[in-house]
Amino acid sequence: MKVKLLGRAWCHLCEEMAQGLRAAGIDFEEVDVDSDPRLEAMYGEQVPVLLKDGAEVCRHRLTAEAIAKLR
């Protein structure tokens, strides 16, 4: 299973989601959408986005349901 957190360096919601994932013990890779023009065009301001094996799990806020999908 590969989990990616798409976000931005200056995004407080992205940092909150990363902290929640760490607290839940979920291993993930952080990807800055500003470093990839394709991702920036796809997601714009709609970050953070959490992906599991390329499929969207949640957007903006980490929920208990999203964490359950990652286990």
Q: What does pTM read for this prediction? A: 0.94
Which of 57, 60, 44 is closest to 12 using CA atoms? Answer: 60
Question: Distance between CA atoms of 62 and 50, rounded to whole angstroms?
Answer: 8
Looking at domain 3-69, which of 3.30.930.10, 3.40.50.1010, 3.40.50.2300, 3.40.30.10 is its CATH number? 3.40.30.10
Instruction: State residue 10's pLDDT score.
Output: 92
Q: List CB contacts of 20: < 8 A, sequence separation 6 or more.
A: 62, 67
Q: How many CB atoms lie within 10 A of CB 62?
A: 24
pLDDT in tens, the chain (71 residues): 899 999 999 999 999 999 999 999 999 999 999 999 999 999 999 999 999 999 999 999 999 999 999 99
pLDDT at 1: 86
